[in-house]
């Protein structure tokens, strides 16, 4: 077993390309240039945040920009590559704002609008991996994005102008906006005024619960390593804890159906898993087309009902 692992490790090392390698005929920028662009733009965001909030220590934006963001982006990108699912830490910005006000005694609302560099580039890494697998050049991708921005800007202006001409927003013509927008605004205002404003302090943070789950997560991964359990089980556990219950239940049901029904009807499991990827892509495209068709019918029906006769 050790010899097999050694051979596999040696093979992987021989097949891996250097980090600074640039694939030919793709039009990619060199890796040092990309790192320089990231460091430069992120440093500008940090300075802009410090300029808007002079009382905020620059160590906090630096931590989020150069420590938290790379780590969570790597974890999310690896999660997407291994399982096809995404993961993330919820309410990071909200937790930091509340914790900062508790520790420093800060009172105010401007911190909620600060451009803290809290990002997750896992989805972007997945997108560029797809671009690499399809052999698309970066220059072609850049041209496509420029065309999309121009067309999308004009199309969005036309659509929103059409929607505003139908009826005011919110109004009875748009029941979701009429019912939910005030609720969203009230919830956001309640979060701002009851966490960092003086005299309205709630207890949104539960240190005992946070410490318990943090310690449990830190101890689980070494346990998986010592017992030789698959890493996908750990990532699946993290995804299940951080996700909504209904999404986890449907994912579990789909995995069970795939494992105990579809894989048995195919002579090769790998063949079915390849078909499953294509099936998911087709289902997603179909849902998008159905949604666009229903939205078009709804807009036409709303326009007709506005006639006085």
Q: Select from 112, 135, 158 the last residue of a domain.
A: 135
Whether pTM exceeds 0.75 = no
Let me know how long the chain is: 309
Host domain of residue 284: 244-309
224 within a domain of the structure (yes/no):
no
Q: Give per-residue pLDDT as tens, 1-48.
A: 455 556 555 555 545 666 666 666 666 677 788 889 889 999 999 999
Looking at the structure, tell me whether residues 4 and 130 fall in a common domain: yes
Going 130 to 134 to 138 to 143, the CA torsion angle's sign is negative
Work out the burial of residue 65: count CB atoms within 10 Å of its CB; fewer than 13 is exposed, 13-18 middle, 19 or more buried. buried
151 within a domain of the structure (yes/no):
no
State both tokens at 78.
Answer: 């690896």
Q: Select from 96, 118, 135 the last residue of a domain.
A: 135
Q: Which of 100, 86, 90, 39 is nearest to 65 (CA)?
A: 39
Please tell me the distance from the alpha carbon of residue 142 to that of residue 123, in angstroms, as a whole number: 17
Work out how many domains the chain is built from and give that number.
2
DSSP class of 198? T
Looking at the structure, tell me whether residues 7 and 130 fall in a common domain: yes
Give the angle 242-244-250 at the CA atoms, nearest 5°.
Answer: 120
Q: Give per-residue pLDDT as tens, 44-94.
A: 999 998 888 888 888 889 999 999 999 999 888 888 887 777 777 878 888
Q: Give per-residue pLDDT as tens, 23-33.
A: 666 666 777 88
């Amino acid at each position: 077993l050790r010899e097999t692992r050694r051979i596999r490790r040696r093979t992987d090392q021989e097949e891996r390309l250097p980090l600074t390698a640039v694939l030919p005929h793709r039009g990619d920028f060199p890796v040092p240039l990309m790192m320089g662009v990231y460091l430069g733009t992120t440093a500008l965001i940090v300075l802009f945040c410090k300029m808007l909030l002079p009382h905020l220590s620059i160590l906090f934006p630096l931590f989020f920009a150069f420590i938290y963001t790379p780590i969570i982006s790597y974890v999310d990108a690896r999660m997407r590559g291994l399982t096809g699912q995404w993961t993330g830490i919820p309410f990071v910005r909200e937790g930091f704002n509340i914790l900062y006000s508790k520790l420093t005694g800060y009172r105010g609302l401007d911190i909620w609008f600060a451009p803290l560099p809290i990002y997750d580039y896992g989805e972007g890494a997945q997108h560029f991996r797809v671009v690499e697998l399809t052999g698309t050049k970066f220059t072609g991708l850049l041209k496509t994005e420029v065309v999309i921005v121009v067309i999308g800007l004009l199309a969005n202006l036309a659509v929103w102008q059409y929607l505003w001409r139908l009826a005011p927003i919110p109004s009875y013509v748009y029941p979701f906006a009429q019912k939910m927008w005030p609720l969203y605004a009230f919830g956001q205002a309640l979060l701002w005024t009851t966490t960092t404003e003086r005299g309205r302090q709630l207890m949104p943070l539960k240190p005992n619960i946070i410490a318990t789950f943090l310690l449990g997560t830190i101890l689980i991964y070494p346990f998986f390593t010592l017992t030789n359990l698959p890493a996908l089980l750990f990532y699946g556990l993290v995804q299940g804890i951080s996700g909504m219950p209904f999404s986890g239940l449907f994912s579990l049901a789909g995995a069970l159906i795939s494992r105990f029904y579809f894989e048995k009807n195919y002579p090769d499991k790998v063949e079915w898993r390849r078909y499953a990827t294509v099936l998911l892509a087709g289902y997603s495209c179909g849902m998008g087309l159905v949604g666009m068709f229903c939205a078009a019918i709804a807009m036409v029906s709303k326009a007709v009902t506005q006639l006085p006769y």
